[in-house]
Amino acid sequence: MSNSIAQNRSFGAAMWDYLTTVDHKKIGIMYLVAGGFFFLLGGLEAMAIRWQLIKPENDFVSAGFYNELITMHGTTMIFLAAMPLIFALMNAVVPLQIGARDVAFPFLNSLGFWLFLFGGILLNCSWFLGGAPDAGWTAYAPLSTISPGEGVDFYVLGLQISGAGTLIGGINFLVTIVNMRAPGMTYMRMPLFTWTAFITSTLILFAFPALTVGLFLMMFDRLFGSGFFDASMGGNSVIWEHLFWIFGHPEVYILILPAFGVFSDVFSTFSKKRLFGYTAMVFATVLIGFLGFMVWAHHMFTVGLGPAANSIFAVATMAIAVPTGIKIFNWLFTLWGGNIKINSAMLWALGFIPSFTLGGMTGVMLAAASADYQYHDSYFVVAHFHYVIVGGVVFGIFSGLHYWWPKMFGRILDETLGKITFWTFFVGFHLTFFIQHFLGLMGMPRRYWVYLEDQGLDFGNLISTIGAFFMAIGAIVFLYNVVITSIKGEKAGADPWDGRTLEWSIPSPPPHYNFTQTPLVRGLDPLWIEKSEGRKGMTPAEPLSDIHMPNGSILPFVMSLGLFIAGFGFIYQKYDLAWLSLVFIGMGILLGSMLIRSLKDDLGYHIHKEDLEKEARK
Amino acid sequence: MKGWMGKIRTLSLFGFMAIILSGCGRENLTALVPKGYGAEESFKVILISIAVMTLVFIVVMTIYTYVLIRYRQKKGQENMIPKQTEGNKALEVVWTVIPILLLIIIAVPTLTTTYDLASTEGKEDAINVNVTGNQYWWHFEYQGEEIQTSQDMYIPVGEKIYLTMRSGDVIHSFWVPSISGKMDVNPENDNVMYIEAYEEGVYYGKCAELCGESHSLMDFKIVAVSQEEYDQWVTDMQNVDPEATPESTTAQEGQELFANSCLSCHAIGSSPVAVGPNLTNFGERSKIAGVLPYEKEELVEWILDPESKKPGNKMSNAPYLNDGSIGEEEADKIADYLMQLKPSEITTKSAE
Ligand SMILES: [Cu+2]
């Protein structure tokens, strides 16, 4: 019924609805659309990179443009595609899994999204304004601080703004999971996806400030003449490397842990079995998160930190393999003895196991400092992190999307197309990246615009480029699937997969207040427990009563727009102080909106009991 | 211990042969065929970790395959509800403890080699070279020898050479995969590493840290020659007369042109790192600017338009490129001059 209303409304009204919404489900959809868009953009950049490397000494793109491509590919994929897609799943699912009507701070949730989006747009404006950043997504100083033009300024400001959004989002999910769980949903009854979202949010809380600080220092170096990273002024460029990786390493876990959560839920649902070793899985997650902060210098083995530091970080890094191994075996034993149904969601999860195990293997190999002297900054590393980020995170996102699509949109993604997507992408992925391990060891450093003729690198690169095309085809088929499904996809009921967790106890898509009555949780896999005891759905924990909901607001959008405008002012004031006016206008918009938000009472509204009853009868 | 190392050595030798035969990697470039101390030590750790990790992979894939075949849903059993197992303490202990043991197997050699490769024992008595990384070329200063060269670094085989490395601009990374793993070249501190080549040869070196547009064109060579040849080379290089008059008249004219247009950035003879590479023994280079084929035509083209060969390189700022003082004819003469700068009998050919 909400559908038919939507159809009657004009496009403008729908637009306004999304601009002002504070509903976590709609915010999830916006993260999905924006993240998906940036994923395609990053993919396009990747294709240009691979085309340039199809043969030795190719001149498809210029050296300078190539550096812009690799920088933007990495930055886009990590910050603007993977992160938001993870946030899309978290938004769509976490409140439902814990039996909540929304997140703890719906207003902040919307603010987080708009900050991310405007930050991402600001960063990409650089393409049209004299050139994108070109110092690598790691932006090592002093290459980044001396990079001419404004590219790196856009990097600094863009990431600062979108990073603030991520930090806000992380805090919001932390509070949501701590405070908003339904009665009976103790910590040790939370589904693994919620657990991983929880740990990921903690990591965001501690990791992003390091990036914020680093970006501020770089902003001062580039825009205001300081010399934090400038050796000739007594600064030190290695400090940037530390700050970047103190953020950057946990970032990897920020991305992968929710993917682990997806796989845990998917494996358990489609083998019709309780997750094997639930407690161990939870503690492994916590341990990975904790150790993730102790290992950043393994990105810096060749910096010259000395054998003591290298050894400590080597051993700490290897230690992470233990909880990760625990997870792999627990997944395998979840499948063991199960009734395994292989559909698209499950295919991505099953494809993940060998792919990620390979990525984990090379991870341990890279942890061996004295061996890393050979791997570091070569294609071996490129292969490794694509195995964990594509083989782990991207597979996880695809699996999660197939799994929760019915819940988010009320329709089931086409299975045949889903399988075609998986197989082309999976084959393409291994074609592209497996050979790169060898390219690296054969002497091909990463970030090489060209490789020379007669150095034995031609064949491997050709294979790699061919593989990339398969991945592109897979991605296109998925897009087609999305379109076709939204036009004539099979309608989904509340519980299409015989699910185990709370989100499957409510309609697909859920009403905007999620749960008419807050459910009572009686154990792990609450819905499964009820079903196995012969009940149709959850037992309510409260009588039917009025529901309090927050009002929408345009302020988060306006605030982010303010920062976006100020961003341009900060960048261009280095040429002409008149641009500072933009800073004042932008910051004025921001502060003004904050003032309105603080002074104007917004108590939300109530959905009345009678309306709920009417709805229930339909 | 020694015998064990020896075995690994022979084993890996066989491995190398197999790899070379299957065409995996260019000799003297690939890290898979180590020909120096650092590369060999790293390779040992690589092999050990690959072995252990392959074992893990096989275990995982065996269980995986078994599970998928055995427990895949069968027709008519769509609604079968399997037993809901919570876990298994014993199993969980097993897959916690065994990985720890496996990791120790990797960690021990890792730590010993990490310390070994960082050792500076015997540095005082060894050959010491100061390495400077520049966008996009390398400079080598032989400490106490009054020798400075660029692009090609001559070393004697079987000797540990200590490199003290620093960058003149952004971060670079010094990597000669067949001889040794890499180390970063930072602008604010000296990093020390040593290299030792086991066989004579010309080894490919690369910059491994993104350093700008021509990062991928920042190649250099390590020329490993016998001890006698090396001693000869040192003597020759020390006796260079930077002002020696070339034989041919074109080269003489070239010398003059060079003095006017190029000496502001390039030095001939032992002199500290300048804006451009030291050209004392340019006649013996294997490549021009590290990557271009060593041919006169290429050199002339380079002189006339360096930007087209290596984007963003610092020679593109040379004043002569704007004032039109050097045309094709002049460049040709300069090329004659540069290509006859052969102070030593010992060249890259001696290493082959
Ligand atoms: Cu470099």
Q: Which domains does chain B have, with CATH numbers?
A: 25-72+84-226 (2.60.40.420), 249-351 (2.60.40.420)
pLDDT recorded at residue A1: 37
| Candidate from B23, B77, B210 with C-beta closest to A339 | B77
* A318 falls within a domain: yes
For A300, the closest chain B residue by CA position comes to B184
Residues of chain B numbered 43-72 and touching chain A (CB < 8 Å) = 43, 45-46, 49-50, 52-54, 56-57, 60-61, 63-64, 67-68, 71-72
Q: How far apart are CA A399 and CA A379, in angstroms?
A: 27
- Residue B192 pairs with which residues in a beta bridge? B164
Judge whether B103 is closer than 8 Å to chain A, CB to CB: yes
- Each residue's pLDDT tens digit, A93-114: 999 999 999 999 999 999 999 9
- Each residue's pLDDT tens digit, A430-460: 999 999 999 999 999 999 999 998 899 999 9
* A368 with B24: Cβ contact below 8 A: no
Q: How many CB pairs under 8 A join A and B?
A: 294
In angstroms, the separation between the Cα of residue B98 and the nearest Cα of chain A is 9
In angstroms, the separation between the Cα of residue B270 and the nearest Cα of chain A is 26
**B212 C-alpha to center of ligand 1: Å?**
7
**B207 C-alpha to center of ligand 1: Å?**
5
**A132 C-alpha to center of ligand 1: Å?**
21
Q: How far apart are CA B167 and CA A230, in angstroms?
A: 13
In angstroms, the separation between the Cα of residue B334 and the nearest Cα of chain A is 27
* A371 with B42: Cβ contact below 8 A: yes
Q: How far apart are CA B209 and CA B215, in angstroms?
A: 8
* A445 with B208: Cβ contact below 8 A: yes
Residue A333, pLDDT above cutoff 70: yes
- Each residue's pLDDT tens digit, A258-270: 999 999 999 999 9
- Each residue's pLDDT tens digit, A152-187: 999 999 999 999 999 999 999 999 999 999 999 999
* B71 with A336: Cβ contact below 8 A: yes
Task: Give the count of domains, chain A.
Answer: 1
- Each residue's pLDDT tens digit, B18-52: 554 455 688 899 999 999 999 999 999 999 999 99
| Candidate from A236, A361, A376 with C-beta closest to B53 | A361
* A278 falls within a domain: yes
* A575 falls within a domain: no
In angstroms, the separation between the Cα of residue B202 and the nearest Cα of chain A is 13
**A242 C-alpha to center of ligand 1: Å?**
20
**Considering only CA atoms, which of A310, A318, A440 is closest in space to residue A375?**
A440
**A379 C-alpha to center of ligand 1: Å?**
16
Give the three-state DSSP class for A90: helix
pLDDT recorded at residue A9: 66
- Residue B23 pairs with which residues in a beta bridge? none
Q: Are strands B191-195 and B201-207 parallel, antiparallel or unpaired?
A: unpaired
Q: How far apart are CA B342 and CA B320, in angstroms?
A: 26
Backbone angles phi, psi at A608, to 5 degrees: -85, 150
Q: Are strands B152-156 and B147-150 parallel, antiparallel or unpaired?
A: unpaired
pLDDT recorded at residue A614: 85
Residue A3, pLDDT above cutoff 90: no
* A207 falls within a domain: yes
How confident is the model over A264-284, as a mean pLDDT? 96
Q: How far apart are CA A136 and CA B213, in angstroms?
A: 11
Give the three-state DSSP class for B288: strand
Give the three-state DSSP class for A101: coil
Alpha helices in B119-273 (DSSP H): 227-238, 249-261
Q: How many CA atoms lie within 13 A of A207 on its CB side?
A: 29
- Residue B172 pairs with which residues in a beta bridge? B185
CB A54 within 8 A of CB A116: no
Percent of chain A with pLDDT over 90: 93
Q: How far apart are CA A217 and CA A212, in angstroms?
A: 9
How confident is the model over B274-280, as a mean pLDDT? 91
Kindly give, in sequence order, each residue whose CB lies less than 8 Å from that of residue A154, ignoring residues fewer than 6 positions away: A122, A123, A125, A126, A129, A132, A133, A571
Q: How far apart are CA B43 and CA B272, in angstroms?
A: 36
Question: What 8-state DSSP symbol labels residue A277?
Answer: T
CB B56 within 8 A of CB B99: yes
* A563 falls within a domain: no
* A135 falls within a domain: yes
- Residue A235 structure tokens: 């600064």
Dmax of chain B from CA atoms?
Answer: 95
- Residue A475 structure tokens: 């991605």
Q: How far apart are CA A361 and CA A370, in angstroms?
A: 16
* A7 falls within a domain: no
Q: Tell me which residue range forms the domain holding A505.
A: 21-553+602-617
Number of helices followed by number of strands (H, E) in chain A: 22, 4
- Each residue's pLDDT tens digit, A36-61: 999 999 999 999 999 999 999 999 99
* A597 falls within a domain: no
Q: How many CA atoms lie within 13 A of B174 on its CB side?
A: 32
* A369 with B80: Cβ contact below 8 A: no
* B60 with A335: Cβ contact below 8 A: no
pLDDT recorded at residue B16: 52
**Cis ω before A509 (30° cut-off from 0):** yes
Say which CATH number the domain at A480 has: 1.20.210.10
Q: Which pLDDT band holds residue B13 (cuts at 50, 70, 90)? A: low
CB B196 within 8 A of CB B161: yes
| Candidate from B23, B29, B85 with C-beta closest to A337 | B85
**B173 C-alpha to center of ligand 1: Å?**
6
